[in-house]
Copies of this chain bind each other. A is one copy, B any other.
């Protein structure tokens, strides 16, 4: 575990790196390296020894081979918007940053595929193909900034993953550089490829198996009609029950989100959508897409279900402007919480949909027990929670208590049959909780896979899996060294 040890041989390879990518492709000045000391999980910070900015698969392969030969740890970084510290550098490591790998390599409308480099921003994919009537479905909230390479590492989701699945459902093939520097192609242009599904294995592997340098994605036809239903309720239970009833009615909304009273007021204070009633216990946002008539019928059904569960009001938006207004508050929820409280911490957990009411009640109990307010915003259709714990970083011991509280929420999610992470990944933030979800044999089996791709543990060491110094200990060391930082996710 060399991740936090002092700088070593990595600076020795500067001449070779400059030969590979040019002088302007190697960042070595201390002040310039500051940019790269954290990703979206800013509570953990570490300046890398060196940053390199390749442009091609071949350059990446040469760099990774060099690291392999010199036994230098390396970390791939996309746009740096990750929320689990997956791109946190080690002091002795090389950061391979994909910001110069931003080419759209091919578009094939007939077969509905697009080939991109990993630095391409998520939203650019849709922008590239929207004129022809297509879009790329996975839409993390950071989609105007985050990159496809990072989406692959974290298997990113988004509002639309309820109907369309996460990133793994949209990747057909990958060109990879694995930790020995070999270039490997997995998957292909068609969904059915024989042999082991290494494409699926790689998506969500959080940078521990290699780096994707060419990515073949599926693109979908833009729906003919889109509608958002906004319903407000006087009880959170009734809101959750509506979610269950909508799914039970056979409707698969494109997205289905709940915000609780606390989040509603935070949002209205900060961005003033004037859409969300401040006295509602919760609001439910349901996006429906498809043929116009299908959307209309489902919209009527959703409204009826909400009213049967006691919704006070329902509002409907078909036009883009109103739809965006309805979503604006949801999209601004994290930033709003950040403005209301000196600090906040966003957790990411999953429960089976039927356990939503239970986990919300448990979170409420934990909130009282620990004495921190918690705003609840979540992808309700998937059972994916994002509780926002509000606290003041200046109060001594507050962060430790918040971290403990966040951990309690995760443990409860797992106990209820859920998961440690819906879409933000494990990274450095949650690897200590992996044994809560997986037993020793399960984790060992994953380690086998890591070891066969990454036997020297050079690719993103210390992430994803528990280590003797996981979570608390490393975090404490980091905080002592660098000062506690607000865990801000401006782009969430």
Which of A's residues lie within 8 Å of B, judged by CB? 108-112, 133, 155, 157, 165-166, 168-169, 178, 182-186, 188-198, 200-201, 203-205, 209, 221-224, 244, 247-248, 250, 290-291, 293-294, 297-298, 350-354, 382-384, 417-423, 425-426, 430, 434, 437-439, 441-443, 445-446, 448-453, 464-465
Contact = CB atoms under 8 A, between A and B. Distances in A.
B191 A382 contact: yes
A437 B193 contact: yes
A442 B111 contact: no
B353 A110 contact: yes
A325 B200 CA distance: 38
B452 A448 contact: yes
A449 B452 contact: yes
A142 B439 CA distance: 37
Contact of A442 (B184, B291, B425): B184
B196 A449 contact: yes
B110 A417 contact: no
A392 to B, nearest CB: 30
Contact of A419 (B166, B194, B384, B421): B194
Contacts of A383: 190
A448 B441 contact: no
A74 B87 CA distance: 43
A384 B108 CA distance: 19
B192 A423 contact: yes
B425 A183 contact: no
Given A178-B445, A448-B452, A451-B452, A197 B192 contact: no
Given A419-B190, A441-B183, A452-B452, A195 B426 contact: yes
Contacts of A449: 196, 198, 201, 449, 452
A249 B208 CA distance: 40
Contacts of A426: 194-195
Contact of A291 (B195, B209, B294, B417): B294
A350 B190 CA distance: 8
10 contacts: A109-B248, A168-B200, A188-B419, A190-B350, A190-B419, A194-B426, A194-B437, A197-B204, A221-B250, A449-B449
A419 B193 contact: yes
B184 A445 contact: yes
Given A188-B418, A194-B425, 18 more contacts: A108-B352, A110-B248, A112-B247, A155-B197, A165-B169, A186-B445, A190-B351, A190-B382, A190-B418, A192-B423, A196-B446, A196-B449, A224-B250, A291-B294, A294-B294, A445-B453, A448-B452, A452-B452
A222 B291 CA distance: 19
Contacts of A183: 441
Contacts of A439: 185
A199 to B, nearest CB: 9
A269 to B, nearest CB: 31
Nearest to A113: B352
Nearest to A176: B445
B197 A157 contact: no
Given A182-B441, A201-B200, A445-B184, A166 B192 contact: yes
